Amino acid sequence: MKTKLFAEIQPVAHGWLAVGDGHQLHWQTSGNPEGMPAVWLHGGPGSSASPLHRRFFDPALFWIIQYDQRGCGRSLPLGAIDHNETSYLLADIECLRKHLSIAKWSVVGGSWGGALALLYAQAHPDRVDRMLCRSPFLCTQAEIENFMEHPPEGCREPWEVLQSLVLKHPQQTVLEFGYRVFCLEKDVQQQAQLAQAWATYEAAMNVYPAQAPTLGLGGHEALIARYRVQSHYLWHRCFVGQNILAQAHRMSEIPLTLVHGDTDALCPFENSLNIQRVATQANLIRVEGGGHDLTDQGMLSATFQALTSWR
């Protein structure tokens, strides 16, 4: 039986928040302004807020806060990587909380958003009521190398298309080439070609072990911006220390739910096991046969059930 999310809703309010260095974050709120505040941290790096995400919350009970991270989605300037590092993103979350006059909120993050949620909770445990991390990314070099260089067999074909664009530069990895093309050079035609191949490959990894979808990739400008931000972060190992769980003791009082598919090709299931070892209060929901994709029926159902249990 398919899980039915809450009905589509439109934002109650939205705007842009200046956070310094020329960056303006686009934010939007939905649901009940008098309800329980919950912020959704989107993935990527380089993705954006989605109307789908707010459908996981009962709009009568929650005040749902979404925003686009620096350089992403409707935030300005699009694709900007100057003054765009993880420390800035964590400060931005606090800036948005204060702007919306929220004392304490629930935090939800998936994939890269899960990494941000973990880092934010360790930095500001007194501001987090509870937390859910879906398929969290831990920003390790091994995760990044597996994504960029060692796809599972089911994703090898789109990876080979991506790698073929690098063959003229045999001394470079896909990530090194991508960082140079997107962040250091100005060839828009080459950037568009690489962004399309990268998006197709990432989509295959996202849905693995299911069959890769046929994508409607959208405009070149948005794709180039997405992968400029993503390559910038991955090349710099997401601007984090050796272990993003180094201060896990600081979030020991925060109720934490982990939802993770055990066949995830992008963020391995072992990530959530590692989190649970240092955050022993965490409740881990293992989705058997689940991949990374939030819309996979098992992942969607587990995430929805976990969030609808919040009262």
Q: Quick one: pLDDT at residue 53?
A: 98
Query: Could you give the domains of the chain?
Result: 13-139+240-308 (3.40.50.1820), 141-238 (no CATH)
pLDDT at 286 over 80: yes
Catalytic, out of 26, 42, 232, 292 = 292
Q: Please report the pLDDT score of residue 2 as a whole number.
A: 80
If one counts every other C-beta atom within 10 angstroms of the C-beta of residue 164, the result is: 10
Q: What is the pLDDT of residue 311?
A: 86
Residue 267: name the closest of 155, 136, 131 by CA. 136
> What local confidence, expressed as pLDDT, does residue 171 receive?
81
Average pLDDT over residues 101-109: 98
Average pLDDT score over the chain: 95
**pLDDT for res 119:** 98
SS (HEC) of the chain: CCCCCCCCCCCCEEEEEEEECCEEEEEEEEECCCCEEEEEECCCCCCCCCHHHHCCCCCCCEEEEEECCCCCCCCECCCCCCCCCHHHHHHHHHHHHHHCCCCCEEEEEECHHHHHHHHHHHHCHHHEEEEEEECCCCCCHHHHHHHHHCCCHHHHHHHHHHHHCCCCCCCCCHHHHHHHHHHHCCCHHHHHHHHHHHHHHHHHHHHCCCCCCCCCCCCHHHHHHHHHHHHHHHHCHHHCCCCCCCCHHHHCCCCEEEEEECCCCCCCCHHHHHHHHHCCCCEEEEECCCCCCCCCHHHHHHHHHHHHCCC
Q: Is the pLDDT of residue 93 over 70?
A: yes
Mean pLDDT confidence for 113-137: 98
pTM score of the predicted model: 0.96
pLDDT of residue 1: 67
Q: What is the pLDDT of residues 43-56, one digit of tens each?
A: 999 999 999 999 99
Question: Annotated catalytic, 111?
Answer: yes
Catalytic residue among 68, 264, 293, 296: 264
Q: Give the model's pLDDT for residue 217.
A: 58
Of 66 and 242, the structure prediction assigns the larger pLDDT to 66
Question: What local confidence, expressed as pLDDT, does residue 271 receive?
Answer: 98
Active site residue 124: no
CA pair distance 89, 207, nearest whole angstrom: 27
pLDDT higher than 80, residue 169: no
With contact defined as beta carbons under 8 Å apart, do 116 and 89 qualify? yes
Segment 172-221, tens digit of pLDDT: 899 999 999 999 999 999 999 999 999 999 999 999 999 876 666 566 89
Residue among 30, 111, 135, 272 flagged as catalytic: 111
> pLDDT digits over 243-278, tens only?
999 999 999 999 999 999 999 999 999 999 999 999
